[in-house]
Structure 1
Amino acid sequence: MTHSLPHLLLLILALVLAAPPTAGGQAAKPRTVVTTDGEIDDVDSFIRLLLYANELELEGLIYSSSMWHYKGDGRGTTMVSEMDMTRRIYGERSELRWPGEAWIQELIRAYGEVYPNLSQHAAGYPPADSLLQLVRVGNITFEGEMENDTEGSDFIRELLLDEDPRPIYLQVWGGTNTIARALKSIEERYGDTPEWPEIYQKVGEKAIIYTVMDQDATYRNYIGKQWPNIPVLYNSWQFWVMAYNWKKAVPPELQYWLGGDFMGEHIIQGHGPLTARYYSYGDGQQQAGDPEHIHGDPDKLENAQWGSFVPYDFISEGDSPAFLHLVDVGLDNLEHPEWGGWGGRLVPSDTVAGRWEDGPAAADYNPYTEAADTAYALTRWLPALQRDFAARADWCVEPYDRANHPPTVSVTGARRRVVQPGDKVVLEASATDPDGDEVQFHWWQYGEVDSYAGEAMIILDGPRATVTVPRDIKTGETLHFILSATDGGAPSLTRYARIVLTAE
């Protein structure tokens, strides 16, 4: 069957405009589905996700397989991985490190224990029972298995076909196979019918895939070929800041924020039953079904696979960038992945329309190494997002008046402005803090995101800054200025505003 790709640019524009923006420009509560293979870093990502559940419209929580984890069919049938790495490591297998289909529900029940306290601190946290209703088992028998409909693939299919026109972010924490099966079932149902062009366009305008690496071959073998109109956000480098190899990705000066002193005191210990289940180095925990989860063994901290560690050191949350991209902290990155945010920065591919990637073109200047760094677009936010994580861990156990809450930022004037070379532009913002804390302001130019290749002169005066537009700026070139507003609470919390100047 041949699929046409009409008006691709218009489809992408429709994607951008599909949801009504808030005052900051970012869509309110993006719809999202999580597909996960249950690796230990997925568990840790899921715990953080639950603490941000009030910021998202969670639509589905789906068990899926990957090149690293699959259940098998229970009949001894074997397979060999299509992926080079796991084919070399594991060879022919009938199952692989499967953690079961109960851990999501168990974590949701732990969330239910802290839900009453969380709800004192912010509106919008969903009750545990409503989250349990979102759990489905997808395609889990083998890596890349997409031959059979499952309750998980059916669930995704119906979401993509529903009458809500808003985008659905399909987070891929394992393989893409359950999503691929959902799309394949749509193709099988409508591909030879008169409705197909409309259905094809509808799905392409709704679905957005955020995948952390390729963990099976179903994207390249099926989705990319048959559904090239579905936008893809592809993170293959920046996620390492929050993954197993973080000690190489994160400069030593910032490693405190993932170290045992911080993680143990501010996240894991004394913050209730949900974060107590967070996997960390030397914590004595062992995931059922995965014999390779030895990170919790206190006797195996020295010279481990990814370095040497101390108790409560961070292990991995390699999939967290997929949902952190959706959390609105004022950076307006949801509709513009190339602008950068807490989930990192992805730029449009030079070769594939509708695909955003984090390769060398997405590198930011790393002031610690004094060089361009493909990971620094995420690293730069690490202290702020870890302090925010710690505040939400406090929300699990502390009353409102003993915890900290983020400031709310307002900007005077438009956030998107047309300017002339040589103009002096005043940027001005204010912030209110729910706890009455003093708020410190800092404006800075995000030069890597600018299409103008130089620096603008900026004079800082607290919440106010005066920018002199460079005289050599060309028509259509942009300058991005970020306001970081940080309160004086403990832990201190930061929210942002972005003003984009475009030369006329």
Structure 2
Amino acid sequence: MVRTLLPFLLLVLPVAQPAYLQAQSDKARTVVTTDGEIDDVDSFVRLLLYANELDLEGLVYSSSMWHYKGDGKGTTMVSEMDMTRRLYGERADLRWPGEEWMQELIGAYGEVYNNLTQHAEGYPHPDSLLQLVKVGNITFEGEMELDTEGSDFIRDLLLDETDPRPIYLQVWGGTNTIARALKSIEERYGDTPEWPEIYRKVGEKAIIYTVMDQDVTYRNYISKQWPNVSVLYNAWQFWVLAYNWKKSVPKQLQYWLGGAFMGEHVIRNHGPLTARYYSYGDGQQQPGDPEHIHGDPTRLDSAQWGSFIPYDFISEGDSPAFLHLLDVGLDNREHPEWGGWGGRLVPSDTIPGRWEDGAAAADYNPYTQAPDTAYAQTRWLPALQRDFAARADWCVESYEVANHPPQVGLEGADRRVVKPREKVVLQAVATDPDGDELNYHWWQYGEVDTYRGEAMIILDGPKATITVPNDIKPGQTLHFILSVTDGGAPSLTRYARIVLTAE
């Protein structure tokens, strides 16, 4: 990546950053809650390959509108969500994939663990990952009445004061186990003198990243009783990496999710972990879910979401939740509105502490030549897929054979105060651990700027000279992205972001 991108000019007003968005130089602390959908399985495979980039603190089974275990007593329920109420009616259980699949994938990760550690530091031992697996609230959609191992685990993490860093609570299914954790805190302390302080601290620590609403517990409980808990809400951009990706991804970029790429560079001949990655026509069938028919090679021409070939990508709809947390040089974790591998979210106009996508986070799509609610995710697709392929190589190849990303920086500050008409010289400082040739690309991320216009950029390889527009107003910002791509196979990209603010 990154192809030359034409900036589309949108006004994004500056907002005060909440405390949880203050600069952090460490790995993100995170807990994954998952209902075990097949796209969760595929997201989990990718997550394990990036486990060295995160502080994984919990892996929790939870339910959703699509998957719940039932209580084993024949008790039935009707979904509170319109779509699943129409589809399934009254049920005692629904498409439950069990409570062993994460452990099984961690076992496959264990088989490639030693090889992964040759390529990067920080990969957690598989035994330590197994200790993080907990069973949360799984009996029914939205069940949050009972304390569970998973909800207690999240509760204790939120109450623990030994590590003040925020905890990103990833919601790959329903929010019910997280809701139960918060409810148990409220029940324990709500009528005590400690409550105001505990309420404040938990609200500052917990950050929920949810891909749509898959039960009503956020709407009915969390948003009402814990409005101080920040929420990152992805309802549109995730489709680039979800079932209907052929509709969201321009045809020119669909190769990166196609069977030719996925089969050769990720799934086949890369060890036992990526071999368990679900893809179209691969012959795999998830236990417990009769609706997982995507692997049936006889149904490729009549699939729900179009026509496919073997090893075509199915879905990783939840991957943006952790892609947002990876540090690739874009600084988006502290500023979701700045955009990164997990897309771009902007502050809600009506709900403090809530960040959303949709029309306000649309980026200009150069393939359709129009604003696109998904393009803030799509623009990174080639780079993140090549990076995925490199990680798959790490499972089986030696350090000398595989590729590794460049290290990218700048001479001088990456946040600068400037004057109208000033010429700003930016000099990249980049190295490649494999000694590969490096390609430099500078571009203005116009949708993120608060200045509505383009700056002049003169490019000279690792150097760029920017002329600050003469009509820029005090406080307005310009964002420039330096993308550095190596000449290895697959080629890998890392970034630096430069923010210029008019004085």
TM-score of the superposed pair, with normalisation by structure 1: 0.96
Establish whether residue 98 from structure 1 lines up as the match of residue 58 from structure 2. no
Q: Separation in 1 of the partners of 2:234 and 2:282? A: 29
Establish whether residue 16 from structure 1 lines up as the match of residue 27 from structure 2. no
Within 5 A, what are the aligned runs for 1:34-183?
Answer: 34-163=32-161, 164-183=163-182
Establish whether residue 349 from structure 1 lines up as the match of residue 335 from structure 2. no
Contact 2:347 2:353 (C-alpha < 8 Å) held by counterparts: yes
Aligned-residue Cα RMSD (Å) equals: 0.8
Residue 118 of structure 1 and its aligned partner are, at CA, apart by 0.1
Contact 2:24 2:334 (C-alpha < 8 Å) held by counterparts: no
1:396-445 Cα offsets, whole Å, 9 max, x none, are: 00000000000000111111111111111111112110000011101100
Instruction: Tell me which residue corresponds to 2:429.
Output: 430
* Identity between Structure 1 and Structure 2 (%): 83
Equivalent position amino acid for 1:314 in 2: F
Q: Separation in 2 of the partners of 1:474 and 1:90? A: 56
1:105-160 Cα offsets, whole Å, 9 max, x none, are: 00000000000000000000000000000000000000000000000000000000
Residue 321 of structure 1 and its aligned partner are, at CA, apart by 0.2
1:258-308 Cα offsets, whole Å, 9 max, x none, are: 000000000000000000000000000000000000000000000311000
Establish whether residue 224 from structure 1 lines up as the match of residue 223 from structure 2. yes
Q: Separation in 2 of the partners of 1:206 and 1:429? A: 35
3-state SS of the aligned residue for 1:483?
Answer: strand
Establish whether residue 322 from structure 1 lines up as the match of residue 353 from structure 2. no
3-state SS of the aligned residue for 2:118?
Answer: helix
1:7-43 Cα offsets, whole Å, 9 max, x none, are: xx99x632123xx633xxxxx2110000000000000
Residue 500 of structure 1 and its aligned partner are, at CA, apart by 0.2
3-state SS of the aligned residue for 2:490?
Answer: coil
Residue 330 of structure 1 and its aligned partner are, at CA, apart by 0.1
Instruction: Tell me which residue corresponds to 2:238.
Output: 239
Instruction: Tell me which residue corresponds to 2:472.
Output: 473
Q: Separation in 1 of the partners of 2:19 and 2:79? A: 38
Q: Separation in 2 of the partners of 1:354 and 1:310? A: 42
Instruction: Tell me which residue corresponds to 1:307.
Output: 306
Q: Separation in 2 of the partners of 1:358 and 1:453? A: 20
Q: Separation in 1 of the partners of 2:68 and 2:152? A: 19
Equivalent position amino acid for 1:343 in 2: G
3-state SS of the aligned residue for 1:274?
Answer: helix
TM-score of the superposed pair, with normalisation by structure 2: 0.96
Q: Separation in 1 of the partners of 2:247 and 2:320? A: 18
Equivalent position amino acid for 1:139 in 2: N
Q: Separation in 2 of the partners of 1:204 and 1:78? A: 34
Contact 2:325 2:333 (C-alpha < 8 Å) held by counterparts: yes
3-state SS of the aligned residue for 1:121?
Answer: coil
3-state SS of the aligned residue for 2:112?
Answer: helix
Instruction: Tell me which residue corresponds to 1:6.
Output: none
Gapped runs of 5+ residues in structure 1?
1-8, 23-27
Which structure ranks higher in relative contact order (CA pairs < 8 Å, sequence separation ≥ 6)? 2
Contact 2:18 2:353 (C-alpha < 8 Å) held by counterparts: no
Instruction: Tell me which residue corresponds to 1:369.
Output: 368
Q: Separation in 2 of the partners of 1:297 and 1:430? A: 49
Equivalent position amino acid for 1:357 in 2: E
Equivalent position amino acid for 2:94 in 1: L
Q: Separation in 1 of the partners of 2:187 and 2:476? A: 45
Within 5 A, what are the aligned runs for 1:228-267?
Answer: 228-267=227-266
What count of residue pairs does the alignment treat as equivalent?
A: 488
1:154-192 Cα offsets, whole Å, 9 max, x none, are: 000000001111000000000000000000000000000
1:293-341 Cα offsets, whole Å, 9 max, x none, are: 0000000000311000000000000000000000000000001000000
Q: Separation in 2 of the partners of 1:423 and 1:194? A: 56
